[in-house]
Amino acid sequence: GAVVSQHPSRVICKSGTSVKIECRSLDFQATTMFWYRQFPKQSLMLMATSNEGSKATYEQGVEKDKFLINHASLTLSTLTVTSAHPEDSSFYICSARDRITGGTDTQYFGPGTRLTVL
């Protein structure tokens, strides 16, 4: 089945530094990838939609300059949290969209990245 990986799985950084999270589709091409944020015991909140070869579309309230998204290839999207602060600490999850024959598409989720900003 379709597999999505994320790297790193866990990262701890100092306040003010930048952190890059990678999302890869391992056995399929993903023209669209999604980035979510999940706070403890809360639901997934969509942050942005990443389209290969074009600019990401951010959800309302998400700072574009804070969360930089690059979807450079059909199998890789990266999320960079710039000048991270403790309030950015969260669980970041990506998903990749695979279009199945017949028009119905499915999102496959990565395992998530736990970011802790000290």
Partner 1 sequence: AQRVTQPEKLLSVFKGAPVELKCNYSYSGSPELFWYVQYSRQRLQLLLRHISRESIKGFTADLNKGETSFHLKKPFAQEEDSAMYYCALKTGGGNKLTFGTGTQLKVEL
Question: According to CB under 8 A, which one of 30, 71, 88, 110 is a site residue for partner 1?
Answer: 110
Write out 72-107 in H/E/C secondary structure.
EECCEEEEEECCCCHHHCEEEEEEEEEECCCCCEEE
* Contact between 8 and partner 1 per CB under 8 A: no
Q: Does 92 bind partner 1 (CB under 8 A)?
A: no
Task: Work out whether 107 is an interface residue with partner 1 (CB under 8 A).
Answer: yes
By CB under 8 A, what part of segment 31-50 binds partner 1? 32, 34, 41-46, 49
Select the residue interacting with partner 1 from 77, 97, 113, 115 (CB under 8 A): 97
What's the helix, strand, coil split of the chain in %, to 5?
A: 5, 55, 40
105 touches partner 1 by CB under 8 A: yes
Cβ atoms of 90 and 115 within 8 Å: the answer is: yes
- Cα angle value 38/90/59 (rounded, 5°): 55
- The stretch near partner 1 (CB under 8 A) out of 17-25, 66-74, 83-91, 102-110 is 102-110
Residue 112 found at the interface with partner 1 (CB under 8 A):
yes
Q: How far apart are CA 43 and CA 79, in angstroms?
A: 20
Give how many residues touch partner 1 by CB under 8 A: 22
Nearer to partner 1 by Cβ, of 31 and 82: the residue is 31
